[in-house]
Structure formats: C-alpha cells, structure tokens
Structure 1
Amino acid sequence: MTDRAANEENHAFPHPPVYRFTSGIYQDYQALERASKDLLKQHYPRYSRFGTPMTDAVEHEITRLEGGYGSLSTCSGLAAITSVLMTFLRPGDHILLTRTVYEPVHRFVSTFLHQLGITATFLTSAEFSHCDDYLTDKTRLIYIESPSSNIFEVTDIGAVAVQARQKGIMTVMDNTWSTPVLFNPLQHGIDVVIHSASKYLAGHSDAVVGIITTTEQYYAPIRQYLMNAGICAGGEESSSLYKGLKTLTTRLKNQRETAHRLIAFLLAHPAVETVISPHLTSHPDHETYRKYYQYSNGLFSFSVRNTSSTRRDAFLSQFRTVKLAYGWGGVDSCLIPFTPSYTSNDDPEWLFFRVSVGLEDGDILIAEFSSALSKL
C-alpha cells in the first residue's frame, strides 16, 4: 500500500502523531535494499529529511484542496519558491515575473539568479495579458504572484497559462493570498502552485513552512531537488499547519467580514487617501479579480498623505490590539508601513500601510484605527 493510500485509510484519530526520529529502522537487509532503490524515498521506513507521517498528512491534504497530483513541504515559503526556480532554471534561461512580487523573491532573482546568468523581466498585470510580447527563445518559466504583495495586482491567470502552454513554457504561481479555499490555479492551467503556509494555511503565526503542489510532470524533479538540497519541513511546524487547515475556511470568512467593515470605515475617513483591495471597484484590476474570485480575504492596504515622522510615530503608537509586524494571515491583526516598489523611495507623496485583519472584534479594530488616524 502506498503512503498516500495509507493516509486515506487512517481515520482513527483527528490528527496524525508527530514522530520524532532521524532514521527509520529496517527489519532486514531486503527491506534496506528495496529502500535504496526507491529513488524518491516515498516508502517507510526512511530518513526523516525525506518525509514523516505528519508531513505526508499535510501534503496529502493540500493536494486534495488544490486538486493537484502531489505536494511537497519545505522549511519556508521562500524555500518553496527558490527550490522550484533552482530545479528548472539553468544559466542562459529567461523568466517572466510579477513586478510587485514578494520582495525576497525579487532580491533572489535580481542577485543570485542574475549571478548564474539567468535573466528576468518583471511585468505588470496589464503586461501579463499579452505576455507573449515579452517571451524570448530563452524563456523557460513564468512566475506569477496574484494578487501580488501589498498593492494586489491581479493577473489574468487563464490567459497567461494558455500563452505559456502554446510555447511549452512552465508556469508557477504563488497562491498564498488566496489559499486553496478561494482559488485553485491548477484548475486554470498553472503547472506549479506555491504557498507560504506560514500565513493563512497555518493561521496562528506559530509555524514557518512552505508548500509546493504540482501536476504529475513536475512532481518528481522538485522532490529530487528538495532531497538533494536537504530542504524539508519539521514535524512540529507541519503539525501546526495540519491543525490550521481544519479552521481555514471559518477563519477566512470571519477575517473577510471584519476587513470589509474596517475598509468601509477607512474609505469614509477624511485622513485616508485610498484603500487598496482587489474586491473594490476602484482597484484597477477589479474586473480581472471578479473573473476568478467570489470572495476576498482579510488583507488590504491603505494610504495617507505623507506626514512628519513625529505624526507617523504617534499614529503607530495608538495601536494595542493591532500589532506592528510583517507577518500576515494569522489570528492577530497586523499592520506595517511599506513603499510600493514602483515608486521612488525618496520622500514619496503618500505613506502606505498594509493591514492583515485577524480574529479580533471588529468594533475594537475600528476604534483603534479611529484613534490612530486622529494623530495624523
């Protein structure tokens, strides 16, 4: 029986146990020899770096949610992203990426991949709609983050997938914003889906873990790379993720509803210049968003006119329930200032903040924002 089939049949407990081990113990030489020939190390017993019952359970559940062939867990969302890029890219290759991609990804591509002789073109969501204009005979991979970091540009996923498939180019999408509950990229022609599971999937800001879900074509090469590079997720982090998946749909619904209340308050506030969320008709990619999404999540951004550092600090000092933190997607509401990557870093006209709504009472959050905005 395969590990996947075993997981499907094991319903004795609500959560699989966390096995703390390094190497599994073989019963005899024949079992050891069979394991040595199992190149992808998918059968037990095995070394824990190749997977444990807990990581198998998480990967099985994400595969089910995304509708993929298989999933692979890593030690972080960034590790998931860089592992996929390193698996398939070679010196001389060219890639297309979202212009407002997660900053560490932008940095990895612009520095490390550039040093390897891999070139990149960063596109807006509008440019992606005719991405064939930017393809070259060296283009090997298209990487999309949609909605993208902080300003939530929404790419026409289906259109990109069609153009890529016609050219034989693989497509990769960061689906962290959406989670499998809101969108399934594989069902729209994407080849590889990545999640920073530290965000909404785990949901409690207590685990750093990444997940890769693929079609059959790309599963084995990525697994082989992860094994060779020694990149794996730990049992405790995987356990936190597994439990987070149980409440994912409920958390997203609650966070979305509270975020909509807070957005309505901010839209009406005289100190707020703009609110950025793709579910708003004011967002430039709203029509594309409506093509793929029924619901939003608890993440949005807003801007105020740039002011003195004293007033900015006074604004931030008013928050108690809302935390000043980079993380998002957890049960605690967080806020962080940012400068959009398409603007100058030198004295921008507007001051931007990204907000991740948690599970606190909406009235408390609105009261804190009201008090904070009075200081600007």
Structure 2
Amino acid sequence: MKNDVDRKGINTRLAHGGNNPRDYFGFVNPPVVHGSTVLFPDAATMASRNQKYTYGTRGTPTSDALCNAIDDLEGSAGTILVPSGLAAVTIPLLAFLSAGDHVLIVDSIYNPTRRFADSMLKRLGVEVEYYAPRVGAGIAKLMKPNTKVVFTEAPGSNTFEMQDIPAIAEAAHSGGAIVMMDNTWATPLYFKPLDHGVDISIHAATKYPAGHSDVLLGTVSANADCWEQLWDTYLTMGVCSAPDDVYQVLRGLRTMGVRLERHQQSALELARWLETRDEVAQVLHPALESHPDHALWKRDFSGSSGIFSIVLKSGGEREAHAFLDALKIFGLGYSWGGYESLAVHVNLSDRTVSKVDYPGPVLRLQIGLEDVADIKADIEAGLDALRA
C-alpha cells in the first residue's frame, strides 16, 4: 500500500501518508498515544533496549506517523518534532555548532532566529555573521575555515527576498559547511530543500501544516549525512512534542494541499490588485512578475503561499495604524498559515546588511480562506482610512 501511495499525486499522499490503517484495526487515524513509560517483557530486553519503543521522548506511534508523513514530503532520512517553529531553528543550530565555530545567517531571517543567534549562540562562543539575501554564489567570499553552518530562509521574512539556494549550497559545501533552510513559507509542497542541496529543512508546522491557529509545532528534517547528529542532539535536549499537538498537525496535513491552493490563488489575485492601487508603492511577493527575484522563484519553486507584504507610498506609524485599525476581517496578530486573514506592521530595524529605504510603512498580509471579495473590501477600507 505504502509504495503504491508514494507514486500518487501530492494530495493523495497527504491524505494517506504516514501510517497504515491496517496497523490499527482499520481506523483511518493513528492512535494518540499518551505515554512516558514503556514496559519491557523481560530484563534482557530492557538491558538491550531491543524493542521499537523504549520511552516517550524517543518516539511513539503518534509521532512516528507524522514523522513518516513529513519524510515522504521532504525526501529526508529522518524528521524530529519539536514544540515550536523556533525550537525547530534552535535545535539544529545547537546540533552543528560549537564554541569557536562561525555561522553565516541571512539578514532577512525570522527575527526570533536572530535573537537566538545574537544571544545564545554568541554566549556559547559561536561567531555570528549576517549576509545579504541576494548574495548567491558570492557567499564563498564570506566563508571562513571555521564556518560550519550557512543558514538560509527563502523568501526572506517580511520582505520576501529570494535566495539562490543551489548556488549557496554548492559554495557552502565546498567550504565544508552544512546548509540549513527555514522553508516555512513554501512548505515541501512548493519547494523541497533537500533536492536543492540543503542538508537540514526546517518548518514551523504551526503554520500551514497545522492550518488552524490552535497548535504550536516545529519539524526538522535531515539528509542521511546529518540525520544521526540531529537525532542525537534532539534526544539530548529532550524537546519532544505533546501527542495531541502532533495528532492535530497530522490531521491538518491531510488538507494542506487544498488549503495552500486556495491561499495561493487568493493571495496572488489580491497582490496583483494591490499593485494597481495608488496608495501602494510596491508589493513584495516573489510570484509577481514585478518582483526583482521572480525569475529565481520561478526556476526553483512550484508555487507560492498566502503571505506577502505591501509598501505604502508614504507615511509612518500613524498611517500604518490607521490602515490596520480600519480592518474588520483581518485580525491584528502574529503568526500566519491559519484559515483567517492577519495583518501586521513590519519592523525592519533589526536588519544590518540588507537595509532598504522604503518610502512608507511595510505591512505584512496573511491571506486566509475567506472569500476574496470580502478580503478585498476589507483592504479597501484600510486604504480609505489612509486618505482620511
């Protein structure tokens, strides 16, 4: 059954991957196993640990079902599940960096990743350096003898710059470094990092895999060369995920394909409409032909998701707040990837080597599953508030 499913289309694989109902008396969903202690049949088995499950932190049927489904999507040797998207960033960095090492991190990174690097990594004696997102193969000039990790994210957080991932991976590997990628925006449905030279693929499963703004989870998937070291650090840190959270993400995964199609379609329609608005200076969405990195996106990605930013032609915080406060359908909140539309005024003060002098506020829009006409009317109300 499994090999047959592996040859099917993506939505079929999402619907059936991860577990075999026949293993659970025909129930289509795997059991939610709440457990820490696992009993052994005898002392010899306990001494050798020669059974599939030995303790709750080392995996359960529930966590295995989700890990297997993610491995199928990523093409990875193994996946770990951690309690948040940020934990999915921190665990692999701790796994592959030591005191005296040098790490290169893209400047358009998710801000909590930067906070971890600038605090914890530096405190542990790791040299942290940021690079411009469009550096491409030029990253070879930034490599040092002690560079152990190159950390990427594409498109960039909030400003949506694309990265030439294959070129960066080739340069990093030539210098003896491994490559990590935060691929939350595209999911493995629209970009498979390991197929493009990345060693460690990171996702905030809180977003599109869960899909309902009600659970926190992160996944980290590794190729064969990096899997053992990642797994060992995961066990050492003890950052396993709760079974109910794991189950909810597996349930969300079943509909992720059809939800992403709707997010993509609605976001592109609204992004193209916003390009025509006089109040908008620029729409930051790599799937738009006007985006400076559109060719790179088109070359490597097979789709786009539901989050992008707009740059207003003028103004500052007052104008940004006027726009946001006029919204009724959009919620004002962090995160994204759920069924509801969200908006936030972007703060880019953390950038160091990729600063852009935008003419007005940058507003990030998560386009949810509501009707496009209603979302558009809500955005129009926000734009009207600017003129008022």
State the alpha-carbon separation in 1 of the partners of residues 343 and 137 from structure 2.
32
Where does structure 1 lack aligned partners over 5 or more consecutive residues?
A: 1-5
Question: CA offset at residue 349 of structure 1?
Answer: 4.3
State the alpha-carbon separation in 2 of the partners of residues 207 and 49 from structure 1.
19
1:1-376 map, 5 Å: 7=19, 10=23, 12-35=26-49, 43-307=51-315, 311-340=319-348, 341-342=350-351, 349-376=359-386
Where does structure 2 lack aligned partners over 5 or more consecutive residues?
A: 1-17
State the alpha-carbon separation in 1 of the partners of residues 368 and 309 from structure 2.
14
Question: CA offset at residue 312 of structure 1?
Answer: 3.7
Question: Please, what is the CA RMSD of the aligned residues?
Answer: 2.1
State the alpha-carbon separation in 2 of the partners of residues 83 and 310 from structure 1.
39
In structure 2, what is the equivalent of residue 3 of structure 1? none
**Contact map agreement 2:316 2:360 (CA 8 A) in 1:** no
Count, aligned residues: 365
State the alpha-carbon separation in 2 of the partners of residues 64 and 71 from structure 1.
10
Question: CA offset at residue 167 of structure 1?
Answer: 2.4
Misfit runs of 4+, over 4 Å: 6-9, 308-311
Once the two structures are superposed, what CA deviation does each residue of 1:254-275 show, in whole Å capped at 9, x if it has no partner? 0111111211221111111111
**Contact map agreement 2:91 2:233 (CA 8 A) in 1:** yes
**Contact map agreement 1:77 1:196 (CA 8 A) in 2:** yes
Question: CA offset at residue 164 of structure 1?
Answer: 1.9
- Describe the SS at the equivalent of 2:305: coil
State the alpha-carbon separation in 1 of the partners of residues 75 and 381 from structure 2.
45
Q: Classify 1:268/1:348 alpha carbon distance in 2 versus 1 (closer, same or farther; 3 Å).
A: closer
Identity %: 32
State the alpha-carbon separation in 2 of the partners of residues 354 and 119 from structure 1.
31
State the alpha-carbon separation in 2 of the partners of residues 45 and 158 from structure 1.
38
Q: Classify 1:308/1:192 alpha carbon distance in 2 versus 1 (closer, same or farther; 3 Å).
A: closer
**TM-score normalized by structure 1?**
0.92
**Contact map agreement 1:176 1:197 (CA 8 A) in 2:** yes
**Contact map agreement 2:212 2:339 (CA 8 A) in 1:** yes
Q: Classify 1:265/1:86 alpha carbon distance in 2 versus 1 (closer, same or farther; 3 Å).
A: same
Question: CA offset at residue 7 of structure 1?
Answer: 4.3
**Contact map agreement 1:24 1:44 (CA 8 A) in 2:** no
**Contact map agreement 1:129 1:155 (CA 8 A) in 2:** no
2:346 is aligned with what amino acid?
F
